[in-house]
Amino acid sequence: MKNFEYWNPTRIVFGKDTIKLLQDLIPVEAKILITYGGGSIKKNGIYDQVKDALAGRTWLEFGGIEPNPTYETLMEAVKVVRKELVTFILAVGGGSVLDGTKFISAASNYIGDDPWDIWKNGAKFENPIPFGSVLTLPATGSEMNSGAVITRKSTVEKLSGGHPSLFPKFSILDPETTYSLPQKQLRNGIVDTFMHVMEQYLTCPMNTPLQDRQAEAILKTLVEDHQKMMQSDPADYDARASFMWCATQALNGTLRSGVVTDWATHVIAHELTAFYGLAHAETLAIIYPALIQYKGEHKTEKMRQYLERIFDLRGLSDEETQLAAVEKTKKFLHTLGMPTQLNDYGINPDEAAQKISQRFAERGWKLGEHQDILAEDVRRIVLAAA
Ligand code: NZQ
Ligand code: ZN
């Protein structure tokens, strides 16, 4: 097991009817900015619940944060925070609203020229605006981590960034907020959660039996219960609650403790979103099977453990193990109704491989648990996802 530090200051408030507890969670004297997305919270009653909980408080709102939140929109919110002297931000939405709020938090008191430098070049910032969240879409883990992925339209970039000062102060997780999610978003959330676990689990053995079993617990829960989690009209409260907690646990720092992590799929997949606009989970489902097929020889031991413990499949040769790990993963994705090929979206594989690998050639990034995935490997992986 590797040395590690684990620190997670986010207070989680979980369960039915918990939005009303906002009264106790946000400092009384705060001037609050509520951030949200394209309006789902106004249709499903969550906005009203938040408004009721904040009765008597000083607040204003900023809506319109889009999926894959953009620098361009978020800078408009930064203007509001600066002009109105906002002292607390409340994000109400999915990963995009939460991530966008982290950017707004970091950018508002940034004294350099352009807050994009925080994401692009790791520029230092001070006095981030404190924020909390009401999560409405289990998927990203952003509600209990300090990372955020921001898109810049003008330069066609989608970059991950983060800082220990960007953990939410609290996150309210009420499973009933997920009842209005369309099937596609439920599917995307399950896939993103699954992939967060795989990126930290399917690497190389590190003698970490606890972390392995924590990861497997999430994978097994998703594989066994995905149908119940996606059930609507009526939704199954306990299955939604379980899904919500799986998503949070998958990316709150627990699983990465003491192990080596991969994350190459996420980094490559972000480029697919930047160039072609696909949803985050859709891009992961395209790249991941191709990547583990390409790097199978380096992942065989963990693939064997994955097949045994998640799918009860034993006694395979190395080659059979590598094939079966790809096939079982794809099959699970297909069961969820998730496409796994570039062709499913009409994307030209040669063009995508060229554009994306070019990005990595320019950046000189080395990806994967062995830092051995270079631009040429990226090209081959994207082609393999044709
Ligand atoms: O914008 P509104 O109208 O709210 O609608 C949203 C949006 O259209 C809708 N939605 C959310 N909650 C709903 C709902 N619709 C009905 N009922 C509800 N309760 O769902 C759509 C997608 O929302 P979005 O927030 O974009 O989805 P998600 O949570 O999957 O977030 C994706 C973003 O998070 C980043 C992704 O790259 C992407 O930009 N990620 C962030 C991570 C992190 N911070 O740690 C890690 C992830 O790997 C990921 O990269
Ligand atoms: Zn993800």
Question: For 139-170, how does the pLDDT look when each residue is reduced to its tens digit (9 = 90+)?
Answer: 999 999 999 999 999 999 999 999 999 999 99
* pLDDT band, residue 310 (cuts 50/70/90): very high
Rounded Cα distance between 97 and 70, Å, is 10
pLDDT digits (tens, 9 = 90+) for 200-245: 999 999 999 999 999 999 999 999 999 999 999 999 999 999 999 9
Answer yes or no: do 145 and 231 share one domain: no
Q: Is 367 left (phi over 0), alpha (psi -120 to 50) or beta?
A: beta
Which residue of 187, 261, 280 sits with most ligand 1 atoms within 8 Å of its CB, as the best mutation to test the pocket? 280
| Residue 164 placed within a domain | yes
Q: What is the mean pLDDT of residues 118-125?
A: 97
Q: Decide: 267 and 296 in contact? Cβ < 8 Å.
A: no
Cα-flanking dihedrals φ and ψ of residue 36, to 5°? -155, 180
User: Which residue's CA is the nearest one to ligand 1's atom 20?
Assistant: 185
Residue 195 C-alpha to ligand 2 middle, in angstroms? 7
Alpha-carbon dihedral sign for residues 83, 86, 91, 97: positive
Answer yes or no: do 197 and 320 share one domain: yes
Lookup: tokens for 375: 């631009």
Ligand with smallest separation from the Cα of 272: 1
| Residue 4 placed within a domain | no
Q: Is 70 left (phi over 0), alpha (psi -120 to 50) or beta?
A: beta
Answer yes or no: do 158 and 233 share one domain: no
Rounded Cα distance between 30 and 162, Å, is 24
Answer yes or no: do 187 and 296 share one domain: yes
Domain with 30, as residue range(s), is: 11-177
Ligand with smallest separation from the Cα of 99: 1
| Residue 200 placed within a domain | yes
Domain count for the chain, please give it. 2
Q: Which of 258, 256, 261, 225 is nearest to 240 (CA)?
A: 225
Last residue of a domain, one of 130, 156, 177: 177
Answer yes or no: do 16 and 130 share one domain: yes
| Residue 5 placed within a domain | no
Q: Which atom of ligand 1 is nearest to the CA of 281?
A: 30
User: Which residue's CA is the nearest one to ligand 1's atom 36?
Assistant: 280
What CATH number did the domain enclosing 364 receive?
1.20.1090.10
Three-state DSSP at 131 gives strand
What CATH number did the domain enclosing 167 receive?
3.40.50.1970
Q: Which residues pair with 14 in a beta bridge?
A: 173
Answer yes or no: do 88 and 140 share one domain: yes
Answer yes or no: do 168 and 205 share one domain: no
| Residue 57 placed within a domain | yes
Q: How many helices (H) and strands (E) does the chain have?
A: 15, 8
Cα-flanking dihedrals φ and ψ of residue 244, to 5°? -60, -40
pLDDT digits (tens, 9 = 90+) for 323-344: 999 999 999 999 999 999 999 9
Rounded Cα distance between 111 and 126, Å, is 8
Rounded Cα distance between 328 and 311, Å, is 8
Q: Which atom of ligand 1 is nearest to the CA of 196?
A: 48
Ligand 1: residues whose CB is within 6 Å? Answer: 37-41, 44, 67-68, 93-97, 99, 136-137, 139-142, 145, 147-149, 177-178, 180-181, 185, 188, 192, 251, 266, 280
Answer yes or no: do 137 and 170 share one domain: yes
This model's pTM is above 0.85: yes
Answer yes or no: do 50 and 170 share one domain: yes
